[in-house]
Amino acid sequence: MLYSEKVMDHFKNPRNVGTIEDADGIGEIGNVKCGDIMKIYIKVDNDTISDVKFETFGCGSAIASSSMATELIKGKPISDALKLTNKAVAEALDGLPAHKMHCSVLAEEAIQAAIKDYYDKNGIEYDEEVFASLLHSHDEEE
Ligand code: FES
């Protein structure tokens, strides 16, 4: 089978779908090739992601990735959320087909963008390097 049961489960019953009206940070990332877009909303309390929601206009793997990624960072310190890689998301889903790995990259980067937005809005200083990947084009992400 092309997709793991976990991918199918998170695609059919995605966790944390929606928006947060008074979000502390919002991150939106698109993939220029497929045109899919993911938006992540976070609430932050004491340096911890106290709540997270997502909207994904994209393929099933992108939906499953955002669902799993939000589950993985909910209740976790920001420092942990920043370390979440797309590989970890894909592993937690019991794998994604190679040509669908880029869908999990959207989740990693949308989370980083939301945290960066939170830092920017609150005047919190950070190392630009941490967010370096957000500045690159997503053309080569496959
Ligand atoms: Fe574009 Fe999956 S095909 S995010």
The pLDDT of residue 132 is 86
Q: How far apart are CA 127 and CA 5, in angstroms?
A: 38
Write out pLDDT tens, residues 39-62.
Answer: 999 999 999 999 999 999 999 999
Choose the catalytic residue: 8, 20, 26, 34. Answer: 34
Ligand 1 atom 4 nearest Cα: 103
Return the best residue to mutate from 11, 32, 34, 96 for the ligand 1 pocket (most ligand atoms within 8 A of CB). Answer: 34
Ligand 1 geometric centre to CA of 14 (Å)? 16
**Pair 64, 93: CB distance under 8 Å:** yes
Q: How far apart are CA 28 and CA 76, in angstroms?
A: 20
Ligand 1 geometric centre to CA of 101 (Å)? 9
Read off the pLDDT band of 134 (50, 70, 90): confident
pTM of this structure:
0.93
Structural domains for the chain = 5-141 (3.90.1010.10)
